[in-house]
Chains A and B, each alone.
Chain A
Amino acid sequence: MKKVSKFPAKRKPEETDALLPFMSLLLIIIPMLLSNMAFHHFLAIEASVPGVSDAADEPMDEPEKKKEKMVMARLMVQPDYIEGEIVDEETAEVMEKLRKDPSVEGARSIFELYARFKDEFPKLDTVLVSIHQDVKYESVLQVMDQVKKPMERSLASANGVEKTRFNLVILPMALEGDVSSGGE
């Protein structure tokens, strides 16, 4: 009869044993990654409509305090052209106007116009946008993407670079006449 040892012989470790923790880790990671997998990567262009309460919430400036000159950036998106304007807020005088094709390059040129004025008027951070009713969503998105895209610009006053990014306020079509009246 074969003698049974009190202490069984040690099992020789197999090559796969070392991989077991890694396999367990993969079993956890793969379902987690699968559940968070994105088939589409979206590009989001943040915009807003003018809020009714915005103006009322702002504190009134003291009359004796000298007011800083303020300018306003406007963008008109039409089916056959896009037009950017810089307007003096006080006098409503158009300081500069640029009309371009509704293309990526055109929108980029208009953004550069805004960025140039931002050097002079640092408080300029909003672009008022009015869009013609027949413009297709694809064109709207392409133009907005260029205007909204952050662009590095050199600062005249400080060393280094800053990323310029404008807020987009889209005017409802009912208000469109108010905006375009100065430029046309």
Chain B
Amino acid sequence: MAFAAFSSTAAPTTDPVTRRRSPVALFLLLPGILYLVLFFLTPLISLLLTSFQAPREFGDIGQFDYAFRWQNYLEVVTTYWPHIVRSFSYALAATFFALLISYPLAYFIGVKARKWPLLQSLMLVLVIAPFFISFLLRTLAWKQLFSDESFVVQSLKALSLLGPEAHVTGTAFSVIFGLTYNFIPFMTLPLYTTLERLDVRYLEAGSDLYASPFHVFRKVTIPLSMPGIVAGTLLTFIPAAGDYINASRDFLGGTGTQMMGNVIEANFLVLQNFPAAAALSIILMTVILVIVSIYVKRSGTEELL
């Protein structure tokens, strides 16, 4: 549902109001900021501290003491490097497919459907409709549609498009499929908000100057919709890299498709190996922050933040 956030940051604002200094500002800011410091910032710090903890001597499972055991990081990377690689490659693939599927859709709603406002708003409601039904149930629906006994898989096997012993669920394909499906609205909405404001006269100018439609698209449409592309890819990539529902064994994944989220969950909630879970979380967060800052800088859309 993050679309609202990113779409409104891109909204045109009126002249900046002359801002005053006043003690009222402190009264307005303090409760919320304190709340975020207490329940967002300090948890990140305690996560960092936990990631260096060492097991208590003669302690039970799940008992750790504060230390500076940096080897925790070495251990999780050597143990879980396939999960780390999988998280980022699955997220990258899902982001790519979501962009490929969403761009034409967003272009139609934002540019071609301008003449029919009712159609435009109806299509937008359909784009956000998946948000109104449980994420988990949607994913389970795909699992059942892709199960071995399902109509889809049976017909694919009858047409010999799929081997008789092949499965769809539990594969990298089904996990990436699930991630792509679940994050299409996150990609479509920011794309729509930038394309909706695209001035079509620029496109006409391009073709007046004898550019081919493809050339106009590459040189005019894409650069003008860059803020939407950046917002959409980030809104898809970040949650997809941390997701563990699609890759879970009970949903679309299998033993060979587990991502970082799955091992963080298992280490924290099942194995009670809190330092390992914390170290993996810090790695995930750091990689994402590095990617986000490079990406945002390179595409020149810093005002997005």
- Decide if A and B are genuine partners: no
Binding site for B on A (CB under 8 A): none
